Each structure stands twice: as structure tokens, then as C-alpha cells.
Structure 1
Amino acid sequence: MSTRLGLTESGQRRYKPLEDCREDIKKYAKFIRNTSKDESRKKRDVASGGKIIRHLRCYDHWLDDNHLESPRDIVPVDVEDLSVDLADNFFGTTPRERFDAIKTFHHWLARRTGNDPFQDLVGSDFELYKETEQEQLVKDEDYPVTDEQVELMMENCGSPKRRNQLIIKFMYQTGVRRGEAAGIELEDLDRDTRTLHVREEVAKYGKERYVAWQPSLDPLLDHYIDEGLRKALLAGKDSDNLFIGERGADLSGEAINNMVKTAAQNAGINQTIYADANAKREINGEDENGDPIYGEPIENRWQITSHNIRVGFGTRMVENDCDIYKLSKAMGHSSVEVTEKRYAKPKPDIALEDVRKFGPN
């Protein structure tokens, strides 16, 4: 490969202009833009959509470097090469994030071609998932909050307290992502059966699903909906969304995440753990030309975010013996392999009794 994937010789990012990319990638970029929207919070937010498109523009470079005319020419052995290149030659976000964006593109493309080179591959087989220092930091960040930590966050979540308490507990009991929580509408709730419908246009990866909440959530939910708090937050405006922000605006996923981080800080259980590619750098004076002298990056990734509430949900489900396939569906993961990698503890004899029971004579 003549240059590091996605970078120029000088180490700067290089994204191929979208108009120069292959037709399939341009069509997928159009699809992503059409399914990304900030205003209603019912779709993928625009920033996330833009990140996916940037990953695909770099993927187009990789196709050039490997002399592949079309993504339709990819075969499973190419995927293994791709995973190695993504791990070794591309920096700024995690290899898994880039790999998943490309894999999802190929799932979309397979609906047109009938061929998906990613479908039978297990990510852990590839060098993509080797443990680098950065990957270990991400793993450290990917830990589950406990019941006690959730209670502490609820006690220290700030104003409007009852709404924020509801959000924290709702996310913990349903496992929804922050963006999904932001897009929930009142009609998505069946309060009689305690069932939430995560619609296709709200769900990450467009995977519709149904999840439930526990009776202990009802008092908070009833107070918020039936006793005037939601109406007061609307301030005379109209909205179908469950969670309402300041002065009647829709509450964004980012606002939910910031509320959770702040609640954990206020509770004394949060801290920054490392600096990612977007971190600012310390300024340690000026050089002889008056230009700033930059020091180490300032840590900006928090130990507890809304993501950790979701990880807590998944962990409690596994601890209570939930089937890993069903958990994958409940969490809306892109594949069962993702769920297994994050939540399953290998048991060599896990299938022993089923083989005895169901094996052929």
C-alpha cells in the first residue's frame, strides 16, 4: 500500500471526494443522508451519518490501493486483509467502528447483489481486533454501571429532576441507546403491557425491536406523563416525543448523554480516563515566534456515559441467564457476534446437555 489508509504522506487525513467514489458508495451515501436527520431525533443524527460517509470515502481509497474495481468484487479473504489494514494503517477512531461501517454498507449492498462477503465472518478471527493500547482503553470504558451507581445518578441528576430520573431508569431497564431514547414517541409505549416499540427509523442499523420495562418504573413514568411535568416542559408547544427538552424542544441524544455524565460527576463516581483523537491539547507557553507550545492531550473520555447504562442493562440480563441470541435482539446489535464478544463468558460445556437431549441417534 503506497500510503497509510485514509492519510497523506505527511500524516494528514485524506478523504476521497464523494463525487470521485464508486457508484455503489455514492448511492449508499445518499441513502445515509436521507436517513439522517437532527430535527426530529427519529433518525440517525447528521454528524453520525457524516462519519459513516467519511469511513466509506476512505474505503474507496482502500479499493484503489488493492486494485479492486468495485466493492461487489470483495470476497471473504479480502475482508481479512481489510481488517488488518484498518487496525494498522488508520487512526482517529476505533478499528471496530470503521469496520462496522463498511460491513453495514455491504449488508445494504447485498440486498441488491445477493452476495455478502461479511456474513459468515467472525470479527475476533481477524487482526482488526488485536488488543492495542487504544483498544484496551476503549474496553476499559466499556464497563457496566451497577444498580447502586444508577441510584446515585438518579439522586444527583439535576433539574428537571423527575424527568432526568425517568430517563436514567428507563434506559437502564430497556437498554436503549441515547439516540433511540431521544426519538421515542408517546405512541411507541404500550403502558398496559409495559412494552416499548423501537421503530426502524429510530433504531441504530434500522433494526426494529420491542423491549419491556419493569413495574418499578411506572411511578416515574406516570408522574411525568399524567401529572403535568411533560406538559409543563412543552411550554405550550406541540411534540409527539416522550422526552422534552428546554422550552418545548425535542431532547437530543447528546443532551441525554451530557445529563448522565454530569449526574455521575455530581455523584462522585465519574472521571475522565483517556484522551481520544478529538481531545484538546494543553498549551505550555509560546515559542520564540509567539506560537503556542502544545503539551499532552487533555483527557476527554468519561468513565460513565449513557453507553455504560446500556452496558449495565446487557450485563444484568446475562447475569440473570438471558439467552445471548435474545439479548442480541433486545439490544439491537448488528450481529449476535457483537453480543457474544461483549457479554458472553466462554463455557466449553455450554452445549453439552442440548447435544445429549437433541443429538441424532
Structure 2
Amino acid sequence: MTESAARRDGGTEPDTGLPEGFARLLGDYERHLVSERDLAPHTVRAYLGDVSSLLDHCGRLGSVEVTDLDLRTLRSWLARLQTTGRSRTTIARRATAARVFTAWLHRTGRLPSDPGAALGSPKKHKTLPPVLRPDEAEALIRSAAELADDGTPVGLRDVAMLELLYATGIRVGELVGLDIDDVDDERRVVRVFGKGRKERSVPYGTPAGRAIDRWLATGRPALRVEGSGAALFLGARGRRIDQRAVRTLVHRRIADVPGAPDIGPHGLRHTAATHLLEGGADLRSVQELLGHASLATTQLYTHVTTDRLRRAYQQAHPRA
């Protein structure tokens, strides 16, 4: 892989500031993440940033060989992060990155044992962002639809994206990665490639289907350019829309809903999951829809519904 290609695929700059041996090792690890694990560019960047920080810490301790990387070094690295004010979530993420890295070192024969296997990390605070009430979600879509009544391509696109985000609970990265052929209008399902390129099919309802149909029939052809390719959603210049534009859209349209919390696309994902559970969907089905690897992740949403139920009880029951 060339240096420019590596940077496009989420690689580090060739001058890392690390000792030569560590810099070569980081390059090997990048090739593993990109070529063998086929991780998304932003995931590769995150892993490389964390590992680069770890290797820099090793260098500051006087180490120049990867065989010097032991459990004591890993723990001192995390301790230094804590003293510099890093959050529990950040430290937990970096501990995970370190464990993945040391497992790779051991598996490829670069370390005789895996020190990361014994590395603990602080448990992340399992908090969720605010979610919209069903009436607020409806008002969000209605507000966007009213602005799109003039039939402008961008307006039709925005309604289709908002409808699909709320209908499916897919991630913003999954949304912008959709191609036209990923939409099965007859069965009302969309094919999504989630984390680790895992494929799943997610159903969507009639309102989202109508919005997508209008976008494909009228809006997309007006924005399409030679380089549009198969992308389902296009930006104003006709290229595949990026995540930042979608986040900006969601925040802007949320601001039009009186009293609604300021949430982004991930908040819409949480909203969809919460409304599914409150509507009677079982946890396993919601897990499959959201593409969660662990049921424990999906169970976080039950905390939201339970808290809401508790507040309703306390407000309404005479002996609460």
C-alpha cells in the first residue's frame, strides 16, 4: 500500500515520531487492520492513534523493542491517561485497543505471551443520550416534510434520510454507505453493512418507503452527476453525502421541534430502539435490527423505558 493510499484508508502519517522499530511495527499493524480485518477508515484511525500513544509511552520509558511491552507498561500507560484527565470512556476504549494490539503481537509471534489478556479497564458509564417522544419524532419528520413541499431535491433527500434513520435505527455511517441496490422497495427492507462489514437486512415502514420513492424518482436525478456512482443519498454537489452533512441536518431539524432535546443521528438510533421496545418488540429482534454484537448493548435501552415507566408511575399513582 502506498503512503497516500494508506492515509486515504485511515493510516497514519509516515513520520510518526516513534523509534524506527516501533514505526515499522505500526505500519505492519495498519496493514493488518486494513487488509486482513477490513475495518472502516475511521476505526483504523482510532486503533492506530491509541496504539501510537501506547508505543510513544513505551519509548518514553526507554523501551525500543516490542518485547519490552508488558502488563506493567500497559498499566502505567492507562494510569498516565487518567492523571491527564481522560474520561473513563476514553480509558476503557484505549484499554480495548491495547488488548487487541497485544493479542495480534502474540498471535504473530512478536510477543511470547499476551500481557493485554490480564489488563483491566474502568467500566464505562452506561448512559444514553436523550431520546425523542413519539410525538416529537413525528413533529421532526413533519417539519422537514413541510420544508420539502416545494419539491426541491435537497428537501426530498432530507425527508428520506430522516424517515429512514428513524424507521430503521441504522447508524449514520451505515446510512451514507447505502447504495441504490441496497433498497428492496418490494419487501420494504434495506441491506446494511455494519461494523466489521457485517451484513443485515432492516425493515422500514410505508412512510419511509414513500419518502425514498419520491427522492429516487425526482430528487436524486436532479442532483446526480457523472461521479455519483450508485450512492443512494447525494450531497448538494452530486457526490455521496458525508456523515457531517447528515449530522448537521438532524441538529437543524431538531431545533424546529419545540422542547425536543438536541440530538444527532445517534440519538435518532436510540429513539428508534426505545420506541420499538416500548411498542412491544422483543429484545432479540431489536438486537438484530440494530446490528449489536452483544445483547447486553441492546439491554441498555430497557433502562430508558423502565425509567420512563417509573416517572409515569410516580406522577400518576396516588400511593407512589
Query: Given the two structures, how large is their TM-score scaled by the length of structure 2?
Result: 0.67
Structure 2 residue 53 is matched with structure 1 residue 94: no
C-alpha deviation, 1:24, in angstroms: 5.7
Is 1:309 the counterpart of 2:263 in the alignment? no
Letter in 1 for 2:301: Y
129, 138, 145: which one pairs with 2:132? 145
What is the rounded CA distance, in whole Å, between the counterparts of 2:186 and 2:269 in structure 1?
A: 24
Residue in 2 that maps onto 1:170:
164
Pairs within 5 Å for 1:168-207: 168-199=162-193, 203-207=194-198
Asked if 1 retains the 8 angstrom alpha-carbon contact of 2:141 and 2:159, the reply is yes
CA 1:181–1:99 in structure 2 vs 1: closer, same or farther (change >3 Å)?
A: farther
Distance in 2 (CA, whole Å) between partners of 1:102 and 1:151 is: 43
Assess, with a 3 A threshold, how the Cα gap between structure 1 residues 323 and 248 changes in structure 2: closer, same or farther: same
1:176 aligned counterpart, secondary structure = coil
Count of residues in correspondence between the two structures: 278
Alpha-carbon spacing, 1:316–1:24, altered in 2? closer, same or farther (3 Å): farther
Kindly indicate whether the alpha-carbon contact (under 8 Å) linking 1:86 and 1:128 is maintained by their aligned counterparts in 2: no
Aligned to 1:127: 122
Q: CA deviation at 1:315?
A: 1.7
Matched, 1:54 2:13: no
CA distance in 2, matches of 1:79, 1:344: 35
Identity of aligned residues (%): 20
Pick aligned residue for 2:201 from 186, 205, 210? 210
Partner AA of 2:215 in structure 1: Y
Deviations 1:138-183 (A, max 9, x none): x36x222232222222233456222111111101121111111011
Measured after TM superposition, the shift of residue 316 of structure 1 is 2.3
**Alignment partners' CA distance in 1, 2:293 and 2:104:** 12
Distance (Å, rounded) in 2 between the aligned partners of 1:68 and 1:338: 39
Distance 1:126 1:247, change over 3 A: closer
8 Å Cα contact 1:257/1:305 also seen in 2 = yes
Deviation at 1:345, TM superposition (A): 4.3
Deviation at 1:246, TM superposition (A): 0.6
Paired position in structure 2 for 1:254: 244
Separation in structure 2 between the aligned mates of residue 316 and residue 119 of structure 1, nearest angstrom: 38
1:1-361 → structure 2 map (5 Å cutoff): 17=18, 20-21=21-22, 25-32=26-33, 44-45=40-41, 49-61=44-56, 89=84, 91=86, 94-102=90-98, 105=101, 126-129=121-124, 139=127, 142-157=129-144, 160-199=154-193, 203-225=194-216, 227-235=217-225, 238-269=228-259, 303-340=262-299, 342-345=300-303
Normalising by the residue count of structure 1, what TM-score does the alignment of the two structures yield?
A: 0.60
The residue type equivalent to 1:318 in the other structure is: L
**Between structures 1 and 2, the one with greater helix share:** 2
Equivalent position amino acid for 1:148 in 2: D
Structure 1: runs of 5+ lacking an equivalent = 1-14, 38-42, 272-302, 348-361
Q: Which runs of 5+ in 2 are unaligned?
A: 1-15, 149-153, 307-320
CA distance in structure 1 between the partners assigned to 2:37 and 2:203 by the alignment = 26
Change (3 A) 1:16 1:236: closer
Secondary structure of 2:202's counterpart equals strand
Cα distance in structure 1, aligned partners of 2:276 and 2:115: 32
- RMSD across aligned C-alpha pairs, in angstroms? 4.4
